[in-house]
Structure 1
Amino acid sequence: MKKLNHIVLFQFKDSVTEEQIKHANLEFAALKDKISAIHSFEMGTNNSPEGIAHGYTHGYVLTFLSEADRDVYLMHPEHKAFQGIVDPLLAMPLAFDFWANL
């Protein structure tokens, strides 16, 4: 089965507390149960020893079975509400989508 991977990286502002990050992570993870178009969701913190994370500390991988599902997610009111929660906390977000070839 082909999967469309939606990679999201967050660099939080220096002023953001661990409690705010925890809340944002819980809200992000909850989207899996609120938006049926999300096939799977994973998240974690950077632990790469390479030193090239450019300040990104938290990573998220959402998978979709089609571009149409991804687009439903992007425009979904629950996703928009989550953006309202997390955007003020971020110094820099990054999103990158690709079809898994294997």
Structure 2
Amino acid sequence: MGEFKHILVVKFREDTTPQEIESLIKGFANLVSLVPTMKSFHWGKDLSTENLHQGFTHVFESTFDSLEGIAEYGAHPHHVEFANIFVPKLEKVIVIDYKPAAVQP
């Protein structure tokens, strides 16, 4: 089946403190140990020099074995609990699920 990526690109609300963001990132990363279908988690801040980020500041990437795994993650009680804390701290979010594909020569 391969692997599937679940990407969030977010802009936190202005009133979200750096300490809150750090805590949210740790909580997001902790989901890997709580949600069996979530295989890995990576995150980062926008570093682009092109200034095309449209205010989005952070990227969160989770890896799954299947689209069904992403759906199970979305409904998992630990994810739902975390999302109830995370989402209210966001001003904007884009969510993309995809299966990485290699360019064929």
Query: Same-fold call, TM > 0.5?
Result: yes
For 1:23, the aligned partner's letter is: S
Q: Distance in 2 between matches of 1:16 and 1:93?
A: 15
Gaps of 5+ in 2: none
SS of residue matched to 2:62: strand
Conservation of the 8 A alpha-carbon contact between 1:12 and 1:92: yes
**Superposition pairs for residues 68-87 of structure 1, below 5 Å?**
68-87=68-87
Aligned to 2:67: 67
SS of residue matched to 1:101: coil
Gaps of 5+ in 1: none
Conservation of the 8 A alpha-carbon contact between 1:2 and 1:101: no
CA drift at 1:94? 1.3
Q: Distance in 2 between matches of 1:22 and 1:50?
A: 25
Bigger Rg, which one:
2
Once superposed, what is the RMSD of the aligned Cα atoms? 1.0
Aligned to 1:55: 55
**TM-score, normalised by the number of residues in structure 1:** 0.94
Conservation of the 8 A alpha-carbon contact between 1:4 and 1:97: yes
Aligned to 2:23: 23
Q: Distance in 2 between matches of 1:8 and 1:75?
A: 17
Q: Distance in 2 between matches of 1:70 and 1:88?
A: 21
Aligned to 1:14: 14
Q: Distance in 1 between matches of 2:80 and 2:45?
A: 23
Task: Name the count of aligned residue pairs.
Answer: 102
Aligned to 2:4: 4
**TM-score, normalised by the number of residues in structure 2:** 0.92
User: Sequence identity, in percent?
Assistant: 28
SS of residue matched to 2:42: strand
Runs (4+) of structure 1 exceeding 3 A deviation are: none
